[in-house]
Structure 1
């Protein structure tokens, strides 16, 4: 039973079971994956948060017969009838807790000031905001612009340092050379110097190969000329002997 799946909304389910059944706190706690003291607090209305009950029979996680078995035997352990379907998050703005939402404008202002290369779409995905909000802060037309203070979104808990670094790196790669500021000429110069060196080495190699070929041709021509002269001298010597 330890590996049995838990209800989709354990606290809400426990609240419903406390209010609508005669199950023991231990049975409810084990089925919902909660501590027995949490269930006790719900029953005594001492819980810090009030939950709206969720009927596990209606959701198909429990049957009425299973509940009745549990009520008849306090040692009976409730069996999940149908595991809850995992809810996958759809694409959309990043969810931010209510307590953090008031910090979003400060985080956006910080990014706009320190990383202007990051696009509005990237800021929206990172912070979980809209382009209208970003534009309003950039143009200082936001309704609360007087109270917005640029603050690091990582420090505010709006994103992790790894997420911010990844967005900054991606934005830097997509930057046109003309917008990279002072670093651009250095990168361009470095690339240019490397290409020049390669061209010089190629030219030197080609020149050496050409010189070697010309030297070979000259040596071959000299040898031919020397052989011709030798032949001519030999011919002249033979003619003199005959005379």
Structure 2
């Protein structure tokens, strides 16, 4: 495939923008999402910190954000994005909807991972006199760690896909490169290289996640 001289500088710039969006977006989403997932588990009926009000409110909020397609969410929260970062255009602005889209998704994935933990583990912690915080930190999370790693792997892959979609509204990144130069200018070779790049990124993330989870299970 033949590429014009301007392509590779633009490609690496787009690659950096994608890593920036995914990296910062994932860190913030994890910081928000894991506490949400833990809260869902410990406040549900019969749990160690049962609180139906908190559980029901969180459950509804998560369902609302998960039911909105990302491209619609991206446009719908433009005023909020502008309030947070001062602009609704660009790579940094795209992080706001990416976080809202991913954080609640991570929260649900973490909930599912923690619910896989044997109830006997919780009962053991309580029998030993552990406080709710100790039960969460020393028993619940360590037991679910391998599953949590796989859940975060899935979330990261979803975030990569969403970051590519953000390119449709000028957020930069690989998606923007594909649309601006590949689709709009009918340059098939650019579309091919961007798709291959995204596939490689997803494969690397999935392989790393699988390796890390396997290592945790062995230990």
TM-score by length of 1: 0.28
Normalized per residue, which structure has more helix?
2
Higher Cα Rg: structure 1 or 2? 1
TM-score by length of 2: 0.30
